[in-house]
Structure 1
Amino acid sequence: MSDTRRHLGCAVVGVTANRHLHDGVHRDWLRRRYIEALTRHASVECVILPTIDRDLPCDAIFQRLRDLMRRLDGLVLTGDESDLDPGIFDRNGGAWALAEDDIVACRTDRPRDRLSMVALMVAEELDMPVLGICRGLQEMNVYRGGTLHEDLSSTHKGISHRENPEIPRDEQYRPVHTVKVASGGLLSSVIEGDELCVNSLHRQGIAELGEGIRVEAVAGDGVVEALSYRNSRTFQLALQWHPEWHASSDVISQKILGAFGRACEAYNAAVH
């Protein structure tokens, strides 16, 4: 990266891609909404982080991603239709090897799981700002040893957390239920309020919290809707909903993205 970029104070963040397999061709992909929202409302530039196959040992991949992320100022863990495989986040590497079902449309994306695991390891080492969105919240919990409900519809009956496939995509991202924001937390300080109405498009959800996690918001049926890392010296926040989708018209989403962007700018100034 050029000195000019640094002098201008423009933070650069890594945004996780997902893997798509179609007609035998592997593609890394990412919805434009993330890039548009981060660029406009967090005032950052974005670099798409590619998914990871098991072609190198975990330690070697960690070193390669560390070398890349040292040039970045923040990490964004995006959402996706796939469910994460908690075994990938086992530090003993028991599920790291390639498998025939690594990529199953709308179900499994282990190349993304590997990317998120290693990216979180590097972000933790560098004490880098992190924003997790939907799947990203679940990854941040499992990374710290937490567990997930595989299907909230079988364990939580009070609120439907899945999107309605019968309505247009844009409407699926409209707010559908409220969440109670914990007082004195990171999210509360950002939004300056104690309740939100959020969208909801997820099948999995947090069962047991990981180590060192603070609950930042909870739905009416007890599902954790936002979390942060207690021991972080910087902004590390995850949301179960999608702030990026209607960020252009939603003030709360703009506040959250703006706070993340300012944390990335501060990290840029302190580290680089």
Structure 2
Amino acid sequence: MTARHADRPRIALTAAIIHEDPNRALFKGKALQFSEQKMAHAVWRGGGLPIQLLDLREREALEQALSVCDGLLLQGGADVAPLSYGEQPLRPEWKGDWIRDQHELAAIEVAVALGKPILGICRGIQVLNVALGGSLYQDIETQVAGSLVHRDWNRYEIIEHTVALARESWLGDVFRDHGRDHGQLGSGDDELTLLTNTVHHQSVNRVADSLTVCARAPDGVIEALELINAERWAVGVQWHPEWLDGSDEGGPHRTPGNPLFSRFVEVCRERAAGGS
């Protein structure tokens, strides 16, 4: 192990983008790129060093930035544009953020080429699925019969539901180990039961061929995907584990999110050092 990899692994966080808006007072409407604060804190608590991966509209920038990072984290935010998976928006408000898509799709491509582990959260699982050839439901309530309420602006992260997680999966191993400590998991022969927040109105529809479904909500909506082999490592979850931090706001009765970040950072460290 090199001296650098004995330190905190560097985790690149793709930038969320607020586009130019002449009616916005902040920075007089200029475009902004940022990370959600709790996401950065979650990576740090997990043992990683969060590094902002800015959209410089140059592939060379992604290649240079990701070459000196140990993993890629795709954070939540605006809808994925239907155009990015070959569809037209069913409604104008579901047109998504095609510009951010281009940044993240390119980042995923570069990360895969460099063999960097990828973790996608909320929008992140969706854009990961699209990058590898899958598609999305543009709106769960409209397109999934009998669906739960997965997003309500007024209640936001107060909404919760259970998630049935395959015991024999990487995520199953993460939460099985910590479930005994925290008492948050139910159990079955083949599944673990998590209790998570839910803040999304889009979700995975057609699953990319290389990805495996390892978790679902009670209504069947896909909640986690994995791709793990010697060459490629990618995991996505639909909920927001960075907010499940044990605080009153996050919900101390829910399955904690911190184990996911600490284990992802471990994977990044191991793969950077030549492990698998």
Alignment partner of 1:32 out of 27, 33, 37:
37
CA contact under 8 A between 1:131 and 1:236: conserved in structure 2?
Answer: yes
For residues 227 and 82 of structure 2, the distance between their equivalents in structure 1, rounded to whole angstroms, comes to 19
How much does 1:64 deviate?
2.9
| SS of 1:198 mapped into structure 2 | strand
Identity of aligned pairs, percent?
A: 29
Alignment correspondent of 2:83: 87
Give a deviation string over 1:14-62, Cα, whole Å, max 9, x none.
001111133341111221111111101x211111111354xxxxxxx33
User: Following superposition of structure 1 onto structure 2, how do residues 43-122 of structure 1 map, counting pairs within 5 Å?
Assistant: 43-53=47-57, 61-80=58-77, 82-88=78-84, 108-122=96-110
- TM-score, normalised to structure 1, is 0.80
Alignment correspondent of 1:95: none
How much does 1:173 deviate?
2.0
CA contact under 8 A between 1:73 and 1:265: conserved in structure 2?
Answer: yes
Amino acid at match of 1:36: H
- TM-score, normalised to structure 2, is 0.79
CA contact under 8 A between 1:74 and 1:128: conserved in structure 2?
Answer: yes
Gaps of 5+ in 1: 54-60, 91-103
Alignment correspondent of 1:202: 200
For residues 44 and 59 of structure 2, the distance between their equivalents in structure 1, rounded to whole angstroms, comes to 27
**Change beyond 3 A, Cα 1:122–1:7:** closer
How much does 1:111 deviate?
2.6
CA contact under 8 A between 1:83 and 1:109: conserved in structure 2?
Answer: yes
| SS of 2:256 mapped into structure 1 | helix
| SS of 1:112 mapped into structure 2 | helix
1:147 aligns with 2:135: yes
For residues 15 and 153 of structure 2, the distance between their equivalents in structure 1, rounded to whole angstroms, comes to 23
How much does 1:252 deviate?
3.3
**Change beyond 3 A, Cα 1:219–1:232:** farther
How much does 1:175 deviate?
5.5
Amino acid at match of 1:63: E
Alignment correspondent of 1:159: 148
Alignment partner of 1:243 out of 225, 241, 244:
241
1:182 aligns with 2:187: no
How much does 1:155 deviate?
2.2
Amino acid at match of 2:103: L
Root mean square deviation, CA, Å: 2.5
Alignment correspondent of 1:267: 271
Amino acid at match of 1:85: A
Amino acid at match of 1:133: I
How much does 1:269 deviate?
2.4
For residues 14 and 85 of structure 1, the distance between their equivalents in structure 2, rounded to whole angstroms, comes to 22
For residues 106 and 241 of structure 1, the distance between their equivalents in structure 2, rounded to whole angstroms, comes to 20
CA contact under 8 A between 2:140 and 2:147: conserved in structure 1?
Answer: no
For residues 254 and 174 of structure 1, the distance between their equivalents in structure 2, rounded to whole angstroms, comes to 19
